[in-house]
Structure 1
Amino acid sequence: MRGWLLALCLVVSSGQAFAQDAPKDSKEAAEIPEPSVFASEHSLRLNGANIKYKTVASETYLRDDKDEPTASIFSVSYVRDGLSDATKRPVTFVFNGGPGSASLWLHMGAFGPKQVITPSDAKGVGAPPYTIRDNQNSLLDVTDLVFIDPVGTGYSRPLGDTEGKEFYGVNEDAESIAEFIRLWLTENGRWNSPKFLAGESYGTTRAAALTEKLQGGWNGIGLNGVILISAILDFQTARFAPANDTAHLAFFPTEAAIAWYHGKADKAKWNNDFAAFVSDARTYAIETLAPALIRGSTLSDAEETQIANEMSAYLGVSAEWIKLANLRVEPTRFRKELLRREGYTVGRFDGRYKGIDSEGTSDMPENDPSGYGMDVAYVAAINDYLTRELKVDFTRPYKVLTGEPGSQWNWDMNNRGWPSYVNVTPWLGKGMRENPDLKVLLAAGWYDLATPFFGAEMSLYKNGVVLDRVQFDYYDAGHMMYLKEKDGEKLSQDVRDFIEAAH
């Protein structure tokens, strides 16, 4: 999701991943209440059919090897009524990213039974009340849905003497969600149902890690499909550290697409053909920009000038500015520079959005207009829906996104302490090679400067991924493509078709 929202397992048999450092006495243990459950019956008219379903908003307690609660994970489950054979009915586990975000974005924007409406033309949502309606893009006609809030998000929290940081990390987070899934399958009698994971943004990192945590080992849980929405799998494609030119290559086609959207790219050069333009931008990044960045200062002035001019035709900013940046157009500066003379900045999560800063000389935008242009509507919608319709009566706040999980995140996925970029794609590739039925869907917006489409493609094109079982779908929007009505409909249909074909 925002800049504050990096965009929108092998079950540990010993239980030590959830163990506490110090034992609690019986008095302290008794202070932890029983998990809360809020159940209700509903119906939704969807694709010509009246679907009756049960909603369960509940806490699930993770426990250590002494059966003491260590954390509570809050989820909202939607299970269709009247099923004669649960093995025929898929279940999809859904989560957002961050790390540190609750699942409200996919819940209230994409796949849940209720949907909050945002302007399709990338305008801000303004002040309440916001329109919340039955969601005709819900997936309840083809799958049951479980929306999960990881520890430290939503109503989920550590319990007893356990600290949140014990769940904050690539491995720690995936292990806790894998344990939640195991418990949910057991409590709901769904071990033999087709199973899907759907994650957005860092949620795609989680989903790839879960393919290893769930399918690995002799206690494995087989998966039918993994749905990656606005994917970030190899973080080298998105970290603008010194000497890391991979990120500049990954972001170039998205920067070009945003320049095209705002009328700054040289459209005449490509005969106003966006598909050809984007295809050429990919090729240019690989065949021309990559060798130039590798050569660095050995490029002659004439060669550098020529490349800067070529890049300018794609990116809509001056060749002089590109040359001063050593051909490395960092996306935050690009957001400020592209429409600087018109008095606007462009969005990070969705480059269609425009914002107005207090002054125009800085390198960095004040904020992300594609974040503040929609977030208040989602926050209002999830709180209104949970408390007023589902009757969830917790007095503690629903944590949409706080800095706590992300600021304490353990990025050492291999537990070796090496300075490296997180890359979970090999786990996804391993899962596909070991499970010949596992399929993957990538859903990517053209204008997403948080998790660019080319970065996801670069990750999936290697790392042992079985490409003939990967479905690539693209949208004329950004990180949260469902903010735009037509693209929300397309995303729903693409995922629906994927689920129906993969089980």
Structure 2
Amino acid sequence: MALLMLGPIVIAPVHATGRSGILPPESRRQHDVTVNGQRLTVVAALERYQAQGRSGRPLGSVYLTSLTAYSDDSRRPVIFAFNGGPGSSSAYLNLGMMGLRRVQVSGPEARGPTGTIVDNHDTPLDVADIVLIDPIGTGFSRLASRGAAGETYSAVGDAAYIAGVIRQWLKRHHREAAPTFLAGESYGAQRVASILRVLSCDGERHCTPLRVEGAILISQSIEIVNTLQRPGNVTGIAAGFPTIAALAWYHRKVDRHDRSVDGVVADAFAFSSTYLSALYRANSLSVDERNAIAGKLAAFTGLPPAYFQKHLSITKDEYRHEAFRATGQVLGTYDARYLGPVRGAGDPSTKALDTAIAAKLSRVLNESVGVPVRYSYRVYNDALDGRWTYAPVATPFSSYDYAGELAAALRINPALKVLVAGGLYDTAASVGADAFLLNQWSVPATQTLSVHYPAGHMFYLDDASRVDFARAIRCFVGSRSIAACQAAAQGRGVPPGIGPLPSNGQPDLAP
């Protein structure tokens, strides 16, 4: 069964039109573009690399799209970016945030068309070259043989071969000395944690460490065991509660009392520790205690107190179905600002986007890198949902310590910077999960930039959020001061970064 929080999940495999059995040749085109007000000459290239397993066996062909600005500086930063799933290609980050062109998406209040392709003036290409990686089984990347699937479609094997591709790209382009950044969305953030370990040569002999300057975690789900919406997972329920409060505010299920969504989220964070304690105690609560908690939950969610008299727990997914049950509507998973009929096909927040990307991608790839439209690009491979191995030993009780890998990377490289970004209305990941993750680290605040935006899982599809996120990336890549980046973000209208809860239980919303 698919883990629904790990990436843009579609109902069926989405393909561009064309032949799927023949791999395209490498190709490249040169472009003169305007980015962040600057004129740049950029070479966009489709490149192919051979992936090898840990024993040296061939795993398959990996295609990536590299965007490099003409520059004599071999130390120009490079951002390696990938999506999640784990069956997702890089199409979402490419057409949403990082590429030369982007897909225009109408907001939840607008009824205009989604799918217009426009120039992307917000890509951070003015401060770094960008390499968009399509893992094997996605995009044009394909397995070498069926026998290689077991190692390839696993958290361990995936991290190892992608780390190898990153090393190959740097060597081919003579960029070994360039500051390197990893950017991963959703499961891609977990991929970042694993790749960091591999590149650091943790526990490996005859390995040359590759220093990574920074990790960009987009709508992350690294603490997956604590954020899955399983019955009885009280930590995950409490972590998801600020998102529910934000949605109740957005959909006017509660009286706003002139409060901003940031203020509501801050109040929900402050209540979450009390809520977690109540969930833990459950049936041992007194009648008065239970009534008090139910009243607070009703005030935050807009659901009647009677709903919580039966059971105090409510997950993000349950709220998506309960908020508008009376009208037969459900909130979107990846952007819960969107509403759709309960019996409708697809997620109301992504089905228009998936259709638009599938329809436009061949043309965009042809125009940007010159790949002929007859070749088939796999946007999402849902066959991987049931084949992926998340732990070295696949059992129902196994776990994979992605957060531990990230913590180990921070110990090995104490100067590693981390940018955590998410959407307030995302029920696949959540701002609470971000705070929970940050609370588990002993990483100084001077190394962590935390920003959140009034949008969903792919928050960069919102115009204002994309502009602000691009600004945060530019500062993160180009500045030595995380504090300066946080202050700049606050001063430019970015919603406050929701960082760790200090010991007094109050949310830390100030830079």
For the superposition of Structure 1 and Structure 2, which TM-score range results when normalised by the shorter chain?
0.7 to 0.9
Alignment of 1:240-389 (within 5 A): 240-268=229-257, 271-286=258-273, 288-324=274-310, 326-358=311-343, 367-389=346-368
Could you tell me which of 21, 25, 32 is aligned with 1:36? 25
Which of 433-442 and 62-71 deviates more?
62-71
State the 1:123 CA deviation.
4.7
| Aligned twin of 2:51 | 62
Distance 1:223 1:122, change over 3 A: farther
CA contact (8 A) 1:317 1:338 kept: yes
**2:126 counterpart SS class:** coil
CA contact (8 A) 2:51 2:162 kept: no
Q: Which amino acid aligns with 1:211?
A: L
Which of 277-286 and 238-247 deviates more?
238-247
Q: Which amino acid aligns with 2:226?
A: T
**RMSD of aligned residue pairs (Cα, Å):** 2.5
CA contact (8 A) 2:23 2:140 kept: no
Could you tell me which of 170, 174, 183 is aligned with 1:185? 170
Which of 116-125 and 250-259 deviates more?
116-125
Distance in 1 (alpha carbons) for counterparts of 2:109 and 2:260: 22
1:6 counterpart = 2:6: yes
Could you tell me which of 422, 429, 432 is aligned with 1:451? 429
Distance 1:154 1:131, change over 3 A: same
List gaps (5 residues or longer) in structure 2.
Answer: 9-20, 482-511
| Aligned twin of 1:411 | 390
Distance in 1 (alpha carbons) for counterparts of 2:244 and 2:7: 14
State the 1:173 CA deviation.
1.1
Distance 1:281 1:161, change over 3 A: closer
State the 1:477 CA deviation.
0.6
Distance in 2 (alpha carbons) for counterparts of 1:416 and 1:477: 35
1:221 counterpart = 2:210: yes
State the 1:90 CA deviation.
0.3
| Aligned twin of 2:377 | 398
Q: Which amino acid aligns with 1:379?
A: A
| Aligned twin of 1:157 | 142
Q: Which amino acid aligns with 1:378?
A: I
| Aligned twin of 1:471 | 449
Distance in 1 (alpha carbons) for counterparts of 2:362 and 2:150: 26
1:490 counterpart = 2:475: no
Distance 1:124 1:246, change over 3 A: farther
Distance in 2 (alpha carbons) for counterparts of 1:41 and 1:273: 45
Distance in 2 (alpha carbons) for counterparts of 1:345 and 1:33: 41
Q: Which amino acid aligns with 1:144?
A: D
State the 1:4 CA deviation.
5.5
Which of 208-217 and 487-496 deviates more?
208-217
CA contact (8 A) 2:79 2:181 kept: yes
Distance in 2 (alpha carbons) for counterparts of 1:65 and 1:276: 49
Distance in 1 (alpha carbons) for counterparts of 2:261 and 2:123: 30
Distance 1:282 1:421, change over 3 A: farther
State the 1:237 CA deviation.
2.5
1:119 counterpart = 2:120: no
CA contact (8 A) 2:52 2:58 kept: yes
Distance in 2 (alpha carbons) for counterparts of 1:395 and 1:5: 33
Distance 1:90 1:337, change over 3 A: same
TM value normalised by structure 1: 0.86
Distance in 2 (alpha carbons) for counterparts of 1:336 and 1:241: 16
Distance in 1 (alpha carbons) for counterparts of 2:461 and 2:244: 20
Question: Deviations 1:438-487 (Å, cap 9, x if unpaired)?
Answer: 10001111111000111121012114434331101110111111121111
Q: Which amino acid aligns with 1:86?
A: S
Distance 1:240 1:5, change over 3 A: closer
Distance 1:4 1:304, change over 3 A: closer
| Aligned twin of 1:72 | 61
Question: Deviations 1:296-327 (Å, cap 9, x if unpaired)?
Answer: 21112332222111101111112212232x21
Distance 1:33 1:189, change over 3 A: farther
Could you tell me which of 89, 102, 119 is aligned with 2:89? 102
CA contact (8 A) 2:362 2:373 kept: no
**1:116 counterpart SS class:** strand
Question: Deviations 1:251-279 (Å, cap 9, x if unpaired)?
Answer: 100011011000012423xx424322211
State the 1:214 CA deviation.
0.9
Distance in 2 (alpha carbons) for counterparts of 1:215 and 1:408: 28
Distance in 1 (alpha carbons) for counterparts of 2:106 and 2:459: 12
| Aligned twin of 2:72 | 84
Distance 1:502 1:180, change over 3 A: farther
Distance in 1 (alpha carbons) for counterparts of 2:456 and 2:51: 35
| Aligned twin of 1:174 | 159
Q: Which amino acid aligns with 1:392?
A: V
| Aligned twin of 1:207 | 192
CA contact (8 A) 1:428 1:465 kept: no
State the 1:195 CA deviation.
0.3
State the 1:380 CA deviation.
2.2
Distance in 1 (alpha carbons) for counterparts of 2:164 and 2:112: 37
**1:36 counterpart SS class:** coil
Distance in 2 (alpha carbons) for counterparts of 1:371 and 1:430: 35
| Aligned twin of 2:402 | 424
| Aligned twin of 2:489 | none
CA contact (8 A) 2:52 2:161 kept: no
Q: Percent identity over the alignment?
A: 31
State the 1:161 CA deviation.
5.2
Which of 213-222 and 448-457 deviates more?
213-222
Distance in 1 (alpha carbons) for counterparts of 2:386 and 2:271: 36
State the 1:122 CA deviation.
5.3
Distance in 2 (alpha carbons) for counterparts of 1:3 and 1:64: 25
Could you tell me which of 34, 39, 58 is aligned with 1:45? 34
